[in-house]
Amino acid sequence: MKLIYMILFKAALLICVKGSAVTEDSTESVGEEKLIEACPIKLKSSGKCDGEECPYQISLPPMTLQLPKHFRLIEKTLKEVQNLKEVVNKMKKSCQDCKLQADDNQERDSNEFLPPGTDSPTDQGKIQDNKVKELQSKVSKLSVSLKNAKNEIRSLQGRLEQMNLINMNNVENYVDNRIANLTFAVNVLGDKCSSNCPATQPNPVIQLLQGDCSNYFAAGKRHNGIYKITPDPRNESFDAYCDMESMGGGWTVIQMRQDGSTNFNRTWNEYKNGFGNLSREFWLGNDKIHLLTKSKDMQLRIELEDFNGIREYAKYEQFYVANEFLKYRLSIGSYSGTAGDALHFNKYYNHDQKFFTTPDKDNDRYPSGNCGAYYSSGWWFDACLAANLNGKYYHKKYKGVRNGIFWGTWPGASEDNINSYRLPFKKVKMMIKPKSFLP
């Protein structure tokens, strides 16, 4: 369009220039008047100037211009464009009409299948929305109920873990105690004479069975030594070393280390039955320890001494060892003492509720091998250890694998590395007595 205006403007100027050349006979003043009449071009301002550019309005007289043929093609093209616009508008209108008609037909068809008295599709949609909201509300309530149920289950699991032995062991303990009492009563009655016995028959000798060292202490025994105990009358009596002097006395010693005279790298059966010298170094035996801890609620005391003369102890309020079928699983309670709680070291090395492992029987939680074989002993390994009181007895510091007697919370023990010297222990003692014992 700017091109057309420029052409028109130049043509107008050209006409004005040619119009100024009037006949030679006219005077100059008459020529000026005719020039004004022939080319009445008016140029006036149409607004305020913006910088160097000012808007002007130009008025041109009626004129006829001879344009090239190309301008006719432009006019034809503009007409065709206008016709195309009209066709497009008609098509848009027809499409809108089709859509409205289709919507009307769909609504009518859907209403045809509804029984009399049924709500319209709009009402049906509202009903469906209400049902969806009700279902969402029910799902939310169920979700809350599930969360509450999970919390209750966790709470129950915690209570079960605190009770430790939610299995047949508690029932077995109860039955064993009752059988022991009945057996004792039957034996006493069987030894008594009937009414037909002669008066000269000697009185029967009644031998009291002592369940553990605390019974001997209660009976007046005050000297350390070896005593015969019978935790379960259904099983044979056996010898045990009793500590009658330490911390109120009445302790039944289940393990002792003091000079390295006994090798603790033993088989499953040897740890089952016990080994060593009760007067020096020994392991009482897992079967015997089970009978002792099954007959009464026991507490455990561990005493340790290193070669620097440092003595510490660890006490656990609960101590129980399951039977062989349950792989002599260890159950221990809360800790007190000065040696540190190595049996509950952390979640990776926790000896509580772990099975007993020996070099020839792998029951530990280490997936790549046998902790008992690696550390040359039998113990309640996790994967593998923060404590091992049955390790090899070293008389001085050593390097390499920590296969010696070890207590992970001992001062300086956690600072060891593979290239540093390991700290040995001079004496170790594990002993138990009933929680209810009063000296």
The residues that bridge with 305 in the sheet, in sequence order, are 311, 427
The label of the residue with tokens 């014992």 reads 437
Per-residue pLDDT of the chain (439 residues; tens, 9 = 90+): 545 556 556 655 555 544 444 333 443 444 444 444 445 566 666 666 766 667 766 666 666 656 566 556 667 777 777 777 787 777 777 766 666 665 555 555 444 444 445 455 556 667 777 877 887 787 777 777 777 777 777 777 666 666 654 455 565 666 666 666 666 666 666 655 454 555 445 555 556 788 999 999 999 999 999 999 999 999 999 999 999 999 999 999 999 999 999 999 999 999 999 999 999 999 999 999 999 999 999 999 999 999 999 999 999 999 999 999 999 999 999 999 999 999 999 988 999 999 999 999 999 999 999 999 999 999 999 999 999 999 999 999 998 889 999 999 998 776 556 567 889 999 999 999 999 887 7
Residue 299 CA to residue 436 CA, distance in Å, equals 9
pLDDT value for 34: 43
Contacts 24+ apart (CB under 8 A), 161-164: 164/318, 164/320, 164/331
Task: Identify which of 318, 386, 383 has the alpha carbon closest to the alpha carbon of residue 355.
Answer: 383
Residue 267 CB partners (closer than 8 Å, separation 6+): 358, 359, 360, 361
pLDDT in tens, 373-386: 999 999 999 999 99
- Report whether 347 contacts 297 (CB < 8 A): no
Phi-psi region of 363 (alpha: psi -120 to 50; beta: other; left: phi over 0): alpha
Paired tokens of 377: 């002993």
Vertex 333, ends 372 and 209: CA angle to 5°? 85
pLDDT value for 122: 57
Residue 145 CA to residue 244 CA, distance in Å, equals 57
Return the exposure string of 92-117: e unless at least 16 CB atoms fall within 10 Å of the residue's CB, then b. Answer: eeeeeeeeeeeeeeeeeeeeeeeeee
To 10 degrees, the CA torsion angle through 286, 287, 293, 295? Answer: -170
pLDDT value for 400: 87
pLDDT value for 16: 52
- Report whether 321 contacts 330 (CB < 8 A): yes
Residue 392 CA to residue 250 CA, distance in Å, equals 29
Paired tokens of 307: 């070669």
pLDDT value for 186: 62
The identity of residue 141, as a single letter, is: K
The H or E element containing residue 112 is: helix 70-112
